[in-house]
Amino acid sequence: MQTKRLRQPDIARGIAIICIVLGHLGNNSINRFVFTFHVPVFYLLSGYFLNEQDSLKDYLRKRSRSLLLPYAVTCLGVILMALLLNRFITVPQPAGAVFRRWLGAALYGAGDSYQEPFVIQGIGAVWFLLALFWAGLGMQCLLKCAPGVRPVIVALVFFLSGLSRRLFWFPLSIQAGGTGLLFVYLGYLGKDLLPAFQTQRREIRLAALLGAFWVWGSFIRDFRSFWLVHSDCGRGVVDIFGSLCACACVLYLSGMIEKRTGRIAGTLEYLGKYSLLVLCIHTIELELLPWHRLEEALFGELTGPEHYGLLILAKFLWILPLTVLCEKWSVTRRLFGYH
């Protein structure tokens, strides 16, 4: 018997995936808001809905299909799009060089580009699929350990991931996955903590909620860095706690949206349900489409709200129709695990 899909988590994912797109605009004012929660929400929900009955073999089979295959398909799309743009739109480069650059980026799987100790071409936003795969794999392995040992291992992996990224960025976003393991583990613990919290008096729950919003606001105001793509958790425990409060607030607001709105809730739920498709389609435009040159050619050099408004419009006019098209096409549904 198939269980009914919960709407509130999908609405939260919808909010988060919109914020992931906005977080790639390069606007500091937007980043100090969206970076506090957009990626952690996905990690936490992954841990919360972790299937403890799955064996390691089951996990590898399922997540290879739902994470690694979409990663490979997206990388193929990036390579093909890069070759097409190189041939017909951008200043032509040797096709072989373009192919090797993006194939190398796909095989290395870094979320950002690096210059030391050698040049690493980043593959873009789909780094998260690799990181989530490693974080989930780590959590599955932790389930075999004694409960008292788990927090120690999580802390050690988290510490080593943050330390090693200062020296060298490993392939396949392994360090980002090690950082993400902390949030997956906390989401897993949330399965026991949330029911206990919901049994508390309304006054206690309201005070905790107001406190979470206050901490989130302080995190935004004093934001310095929280780039999980780099295994960078800013000021450490303080910012991790701030991010958890931010995620709790987003989940609460998602519940309010579910109860009090119709179309908005439905749109966010749809984006959350197909957030994997949105992320992969966004990666292609983020890495390859020359939005700034198109804007300059059509409207001249814009700045401020006009520039960002036009950029957001262009991105979502690319993302939304392609998401609807791919979601309805049986081939992409199978490739992205929606069948």
Domain ranges of the chain: 7-335
Q: Which residue has the tokens 């299937």?
A: 51
Q: Using 50, 70 and 90 to split pLDDT, how confident is the model at 2?
A: low
Q: In the numeric block, which tokens belong to residue 14?
A: 């919808």
Q: What is the pTM of this model?
A: 0.94
Cα–Cα dist 111/252, whole Å: 30
3-class secondary-structure state, position 120:
strand
The answer to whether 54 and 257 have CB atoms below 8 angstroms apart is no
Q: Is the pLDDT of residue 151 over 50?
A: yes
Q: Is the pLDDT of residue 1 over 70?
A: no
120 has which bridge partners? 114
Q: Is the pLDDT of residue 88 over 80?
A: no
Q: Which of 13, 65, 75, 6 is nearest to 337 (CA)?
A: 65
Q: Which of 13, 15, 10 is nearest to 33 (CA)?
A: 15
Cα–Cα dist 323/309, whole Å: 21
Q: Is the pLDDT of residue 45 over 50?
A: yes
**What DSSP designation does 234 have?**
T
Q: Residue 338: its pLDDT value, please? A: 82
φ/ψ of 120, rounded to 5, equals: -120, 120
Give per-residue pLDDT as tens, 133-143. 999 999 999 99
Q: Is the pLDDT of residue 303 over 90?
A: no
Q: Is the pLDDT of residue 46 over 60?
A: yes
Q: Is the pLDDT of residue 167 over 90?
A: no
3-class secondary-structure state, position 114:
strand
Give per-residue pLDDT as tens, 90-123. 667 888 899 999 999 999 999 998 887 788 899 9
Q: Is the pLDDT of residue 9 over 90?
A: yes
Q: Is the pLDDT of residue 295 over 50?
A: yes
Q: Which of 114, 228, 233 is nearest to 176 (CA)?
A: 228
Side chain identity, residue 295: E
